Amino acid sequence: MLAWLGLRLTPGIGSVRFLRLMEAFGSPRAVLAAPEERLAAVKGIPSVVAQAISRGERLAEPRAELARLEGMGARLVTLDHADYPPLLKSVFAPPPLLFAWGDLKPCHGGAVAMVGSRGHSSYGRRVAEEVARDLALAGKSVISGLARGIDTAAHTAALKAGGHTVGVLGCGLDVAYPPENRGLIKEMALKGAVVSEFPLGAPPAAGNFPVRNRVISGLAQAVVVVEAGRKSGSLITARHALDQGREVFAVPGPVGSPQSEGCHDLLRQGARLLSSAADILEPGSLPPAPKSFLSPAAEKPGSQGPAVSDLPQDWQKVLELVTINPVHLDLIARESGFKSQEVTAILVSLEMEGLVEQKPGKHYVRL
């Protein structure tokens, strides 16, 4: 456990680099013991990161971090642990370890993610509460992101129904965000679960949330978008769901409602219309739970990742616009013709594949 945490707390190590090193060396302990030149020879590992590993540099001391987790009643769940959600393990580049507070097992048998606008309408809140309640009563774990608005409504309704719900944070477990959800987070830790792939103390940085969104969809068999404007982050979650082979449902809203424009776009693009939880719960509505496996790249030690020709066409189009020199997100969106939230979702997926890397200021470079 200390080796897993020690590697994760090394500066410059995120999920993709962690898994690439695991592929090359077999275990976190072997990675930490490897010489610098062998570490630097792994594709996607810069020399500065290899140097940090070999020197034992850490963002925090692993034993102290474990003690802090245990002190708040939380724990680490590593990719090889029985408590690691099998649905999440089935996605490409799953988080190698989760900081978990609460019980994750109820979501193993099947879960539904519900996301939507922070600035929701009374209609959207009512639909979110009704659907979350009915899903919880049917034994489905409700997954969301603990954000203001629809997320909070879904979590709260599932708890009131006596069901299980999981919140995925874009910050450390010990950082209550938004602050007004501090009480809800504690209640979910007792009656459901709260998880993060970010270490304790990690702030809710903007770049964390597209990464967080892929975990929300990865934990679920289906994603329901209740309300979303055309620039809503919920559309990033929906995009990840499609890339991960999940079913996407969208709730129709009043004609002309800005909060429903994103949902209507999803419906035009082929998302399934949702009018009640029954649309999800009817037999055959959800795809079977995918089998647990490491990422395709992890199945072959030394794999160099997917061939560009094997990527979806829209991924290829975005990748062609990313060069070895930093390119801004807005320029990629303008040149590709895609919406910013669509490009963001694709870039996160490409980063998970180890093909691009995000730099400060929403710039991206090709690896």
Number of C-beta neighbours around residue 358 at 10 A: 19
Residue 175 Cα distances to 6, 10, 67, 196, 202, angstroms = 21, 20, 17, 11, 7
85 occurs within a structural domain: no
Q: Are 47 and 159 part of one and the same domain?
A: no
With contact defined as beta carbons under 8 Å apart, do 155 and 188 qualify? yes
Q: Are 106 and 234 part of one and the same domain?
A: yes
Overall number of domains in the chain = 3
Q: Are 148 and 265 part of one and the same domain?
A: yes
Q: Are 178 and 36 part of one and the same domain?
A: no
Domain residues for the domain of 277 are 100-281
51 occurs within a structural domain: yes
The angle, 0 to 180 degrees and rounded to 10, between the axes of the packed helices 329-336 and 340-352 is: 110
* The pLDDT of residue 367 is above 80: no
Tens digit of each residue's pLDDT (9 = 90 or more) over 88-100? 998 878 999 999 9
Q: Are 121 and 258 part of one and the same domain?
A: yes
293 occurs within a structural domain: no
Tens digit of each residue's pLDDT (9 = 90 or more) over 228-284? 998 888 998 998 898 888 999 999 998 888 889 999 999 999 999 999 999 999 887
Q: Are 58 and 108 part of one and the same domain?
A: no
288 occurs within a structural domain: no
Q: Are 18 and 162 part of one and the same domain?
A: no
Q: Domain with 20 in it: what CATH number?
A: 1.10.150.20
Tens digit of each residue's pLDDT (9 = 90 or more) over 121-165? 999 999 999 999 999 999 999 999 999 999 999 999 999 999 999
Last residue of a domain, one of 215, 246, 281: 281
Q: Are 253 and 349 part of one and the same domain?
A: no
Euclidean distance between the first and the last CA atom of the chain, given in angstroms as a whole number: 30
CA nearest 143: which of 201, 96, 198, 102?
102
Which pair of tokens denotes residue 106? 């109820």
Last residue of a domain, one of 281, 316, 348: 281
Tens digit of each residue's pLDDT (9 = 90 or more) over 306-337? 556 557 778 888 888 888 778 888 888 888 88
With contact defined as beta carbons under 8 Å apart, do 19 and 298 qualify? yes
Q: Are 159 and 211 part of one and the same domain?
A: yes
Q: Are 273 and 339 part of one and the same domain?
A: no
